[in-house]
Amino acid sequence: MDLSRKMAAEFIGTFWLVLGGCGSAVIAAAFPQVGIGLLGVSLAFGLTVLTGAYAFGHISGGHFNPAVTAGLWAGGRFPANQIAPYVVAQVLGAILGASVLYLIASGAAGFDPTAGFASNGYGEHSPGGYSLTSAAVTEAVLTAMFLLIILGATGKNAPAGFAPIAIGLALTLIHLISIPVTNTSVNPARSTGPALFAGAWALQQLWLFWLAPIAGAIAAGFLNRWLNSEK
């Protein structure tokens, strides 16, 4: 598969993740009387990855996440010369997803993207008021576990065809754990799209949601390579 098609698949898949996952948080989470709540938002993020991986995984691998791309490289599953094109496609897809979500959400009276817009944060911008340290540990550790699950579920000894289910359920579980802490990133592209609309505070804190997930993912990639080494 040529690189342009892979980038297109990553672009669309990341667009879907942000529109579906963040859209559920912005539009449906607290909707009067029938809001889906934390459980519904967690499930929505898992479903976007599950459906996106089945739709586009055979084209690009279904990363939809710069941290996943970095972790797969560290695990020996992805070439270094394709990291930058994948990340560009993912970030642009996330921005488009956030833009479409903004167009939809702004049709409601009183809509204010600076109130959050599903952005990730710590301290006073953490849903539960968690500190920078708590946020950093949460994002690094949960992204590392996400990568270990991805690498295991897509390994040569894993049952064929079931990886998207395991990966989608893993992302659901990650959100169930960490929405109160950071509003859950584990994905720098997902964090970037909404932050552009949420304003100054989200952009000021965005560095953490690039650094911690990528660090956790790379550590997990090297760990998985060691765990599965035959030497």
Q: Which domains are delineated in the chain?
A: 3-227 (1.20.1080.10)
- Backbone φ and ψ for 214, nearest 5 degrees, come out as -70, -40
CB 177 within 8 A of CB 130: no
Predicted local distance difference test score (pLDDT) of residue 20: 97
**What burial class does residue 54 get, using C-beta atoms within 10 Å of its C-beta: 0-12 exposed, 13-18 middle, 19+ buried?**
middle
- Backbone φ and ψ for 74, nearest 5 degrees, come out as -60, -30
Radius of gyration of the chain (CA): 17
The proportion of the chain whose per-residue pLDDT surpasses 70, expressed as a percent, equals 98
- Hunting for tokens 């690189």 — which residue is that? 3
CB 105 within 8 A of CB 111: yes
Predicted local distance difference test score (pLDDT) of residue 32: 61
For the full predicted model, state whether its pTM sits above 0.85.
Answer: yes
Q: CA-to-CA distance for 135 and 216, rounded, in angstroms?
A: 13
- Backbone φ and ψ for 31, nearest 5 degrees, come out as -60, 135
pLDDT tier for residue 180 given thresholds of 50, 70 and 90: very high
* Average pLDDT score, the chain: 95
pLDDT digits (tens, 9 = 90+) for 6-50: 999 999 999 999 999 999 999 998 766 667 889 999 999 999 999
Predicted local distance difference test score (pLDDT) of residue 109: 87
pLDDT digits (tens, 9 = 90+) for 160-173: 889 999 999 999 99
Question: Can you count the helices (H) and strands (E) in the chain?
Answer: 10, 0
Q: CA-to-CA distance for 19 and 26, rounded, in angstroms?
A: 10
